[in-house]
Structure 1
Amino acid sequence: MAHLTFQQEYMQMPPVTRAYTTACVITTILVQLDIVSPFQLYFNPILIFRHYQLWRLLSTFLFFGTIGFNFLFNMIFTYRYCRMLEEGSFRGRTADFVLMMVFGGACMLVCAMFCSVLFLGPAFTIMLVYVWARRNPFVRMNFFGLLNFQAPYLPWVLLGFSVLLGNSILVDLVGIAVGHIYYFLEDVFPARSGGIRLLKTPRFLVQLCEPRNEDPNYNPLPEERPGGFLWGERPQEEQQPQQQQ
């Protein structure tokens, strides 16, 4: 089978994942080329509400730092779990997926006003990981070929690794907290006796994000795959099911 070109691979990404990861990469490139400064992107309530620099409400989620290991690490996890959510539990429900991202982003912005967090991209990534992990509790993970654990522990493993990289623990805690709030409101509370679904997707958003006919050759990335890469470990097709990629 002929290898797909980069353009074909890119266009096969689900739309929300493609839009968000592309925006993150473009923002980082603009900063790397000194076309845009990080000082123009960070979250600052005074500049937003007094000087109407409203783009900061979005740009704070798009910058993960200059190109390097930290940036690549965050982008790999952002792309992977955003895509697995969009093609897994949110498959055919693009509007609901967009609502989750808007709700999560709004909650993080409120938290940032009290926690003095400047860039919320890593927190957004942790939120995506948290929701995926809670919806796939029995998936076995392998992190760097060193740790084996169940999926719900993944956000905490990433938090610990982030601390080792010298990042603030507060950012990841915000992401975990917001992810849990969404998971509780969407998956836990409605299933309880007398519970209702509080997060209802507006009709205009459903109409805007109504899925089109899918390409029969489209090859999605199933959500059931383990989310941790076997970092530094040679792939083996005959591994046990819990270690398969």
Structure 2
Amino acid sequence: MLLFTLDVFVVYQLEIITPFQLYFNPDLILRNYQVWRLITNFLFFGPVGFNFLFNMIFLYRYCRMLEEGSFRGRTADFVFMFLFGGLLMTIFGMFVSLVFLGQAFTIMLVYVWSRRNPNVRMNFFGLLNFQAPFLPWVLMGFSLLLGNSIIVDLLGIAVGHVYFFLEDVFPNQPGGGRWLKTPSIIKMLFDTPEEDANYNPLPEDRPGGFLYWVLPHI
């Protein structure tokens, strides 16, 4: 996803396209068949600036840690999480009038990672120590302090929670079951070889580890 995001950024900087050709608009999608907007609204983070840089860092960092951690050897399931999260955000986005959903998607990745690594201790610029599950809320609070809308953060947290509950919580409850099943066609396209028995996870993924810095999201 990061590669496609950078591609969109480059063509935007070259003034080949404008944000008006990328934003989420249900009317244009349904009436004018501009279906690319279902994807491009997730890939545009604006011009170079504070918001763009921090989103790129978060997107890369937590996407990589998920892929090399809990999704290692499960590329198909990783892709399905992207599709499931994107679909839910698109549906919810129609009700909250959001035109770009990339930041919400990034927060979703942060939320899923944080819930799957509850014992990781984090430090917010040396000012605040907390456990990983509080990370999305700390970022939302920071965004609020900066005077930004928290709707995007809340959307990402909500979708991340729905995925985490259906994938990690509900199947382990009495009478529960697995509702999220990766379609066979996705498994055929993206399944990877079995995990290496000698693989050691990243330090950030080990319970009890310590992440020495965390960047704010706005």
TM-score by length of structure 1 reads 0.80
1:19-58 alignment runs, 5 A limit: 20-58=1-39
CA distance in 2, matches of 1:204, 1:141: 38
Question: In the alignment, is residue 190 of structure 1 matched against residue 171 of structure 2?
Answer: yes
Q: Is the 8 A contact 1:83 1:221 kept in 2?
A: no
CA apart distance, 1:185: 0.4
Runs of 5+ in structure 2 lacking a partner? none
Q: Is the 8 A contact 1:145 1:230 kept in 2?
A: no
Q: Which residue of 2 aligns with 1:229?
A: 213
CA distance in 2, matches of 1:220, 1:63: 31
Cα deviation, 1:88-133, whole Å, max 9, x if unaligned, reads: 0111000001111100000000001111001000000000000000
| Identity across the alignment (%) | 66
CA distance in 2, matches of 1:82, 1:203: 23
Runs of 5+ in structure 1 lacking a partner? 1-19, 232-245
Q: Residue 154 of structure 2 is aligned with which of 173, 188, 199?
A: 173
Q: Is the 8 A contact 1:80 1:227 kept in 2?
A: no
Question: In the alignment, is residue 123 of structure 1 matched against residue 82 of structure 2?
Answer: no
CA apart distance, 1:164: 3.7
Given residue 160 of structure 1, which amino acid in structure 2 is its aligned partner? G
Q: Which residue of 1 aligns with 2:69?
A: 88
Of 25-34 and 68-77, deviating more is: 25-34
CA distance in 2, matches of 1:187, 1:53: 35
Task: Count the aligned residue pairs.
Answer: 210
Given residue 25 of structure 2, which amino acid in structure 1 is its aligned partner? N
| Secondary structure class of the residue paired with 1:141 | strand
Q: Is the 8 A contact 2:73 2:193 kept in 1?
A: no
Greater RCO structure (CA 8 Å; 6+ sep): 2
Q: Residue 141 of structure 2 is aligned with which of 160, 181, 185?
A: 160
TM-score by length of structure 2 reads 0.90
CA apart distance, 1:219: 9.2
CA distance in 2, matches of 1:134, 1:170: 21
Distance verdict in 2 for CA 1:228–1:172, change over 3 Å:
farther
CA apart distance, 1:167: 3.3
Q: Residue 206 of structure 1 is aligned with which of 187, 193, 209?
A: 187
CA distance in 2, matches of 1:149, 1:226: 10
Q: Residue 46 of structure 2 is aligned with which of 53, 59, 65?
A: 65
Cα deviation, 1:145-182, whole Å, max 9, x if unaligned, reads: 22110101000111122234443210110000000000
